[in-house]
A = this chain, B = another copy of it.
């Protein structure tokens, strides 16, 4: 079996080009145009026992946070396009003998997060399965003109990231709050030229924006906001915390680009609106499709000192 991206490419090639154009697929969510200048966003994401989490036996996680995560990853996909989540459905795979209490606790984790973002849980389906899974499909909506894709970054744009990066495996991958409010605020007031949620690691997801936009980037490594968890992981390991911040998956922070004329205004208003959420300018978009240049202490590196580029979840 080839990798995930290649398989997705082959599956996508089965979708007729006219459909791909009409519905604008290939981003975090598909965009379905409605009347009146508005669009629906439609997306799906699953989490599977033994792959994304453990729920039985040794090392098992609590069901509430697992349900929370199942919805949070979907909210994050809608948020990354600057849209408002509206409604979702859940497809459950439940093993024989699995306790109903655990299912209900997972469901409560979903319901609590849904309430927080006023997103309506409107239905679902239950199947027998050998491993517990939760597949969620979500609808969002947005003004068609304010939707943010991966493909709009232009040379000269500034590159920003929210929060701090790396080490989510220590807990944040289950408990994170998706950046729904932050992303909507950005989309409504600053028209980012491109945006993505960091699910597969900074380098890999930056690569998605650069590839989609046919541009390159210069990144200042000293500015990368390294999380406390990444530093904890680095202790007693031979891996720098910075490497963790650049390659660990499931940060679910926002990575976006905006023209420099909006940058100063954004930084000022951000501190007022989201005082608890760090916002960091980490680099600038350059010409040269897919090319990444790395700077540390003002000097350009020949190349990075590690090979791993991101989180391979397949």
Contact = CB atoms under 8 A, between A and B. Distances in A.
A91 B135 contact: yes
Given A30-B87, A139-B32, A133 B93 contact: yes
A86 interface: yes
A139 B42 contact: yes
A187 to B, nearest CB: 20
Main secondary structure of the interface of A (DSSP, over half): mixed
A169 interface: no
Nearest to A23: B122
A136 to B, nearest CB: 8
A126 B98 CA distance: 24
A111 B42 contact: no
Interface string A122-147: 11111111110101010100000000
A121 B11 CA distance: 10
A306 interface: no
Interface residues on A, range: 35 or more
| Identical chains in the assembly | 2
B126 A89 contact: no
A260 interface: no
A167 to B, nearest CB: 22
A55 to B, nearest CB: 13
A19 B104 contact: no
Interface in A13-57: 14-16, 19, 22-23, 25-26, 29-30, 32, 34-36, 40, 42-48, 50-52
The 10 closest A-B pairs by CB, nearest first: A137-B137, A30-B122, A135-B135, A30-B123, A44-B89, A51-B128, A23-B122, A91-B135, A14-B111, A19-B120
21 contacts: A4-B126, A7-B126, A16-B115, A19-B120, A26-B123, A30-B89, A32-B87, A43-B89, A43-B123, A44-B91, A44-B135, A45-B125, A46-B125, A47-B127, A48-B127, A48-B129, A50-B130, A51-B128, A52-B127, A89-B137, A127-B313
Given A44-B125, A46-B125, A139-B139, 5 more contacts: A1-B100, A7-B100, A19-B121, A25-B122, A46-B135
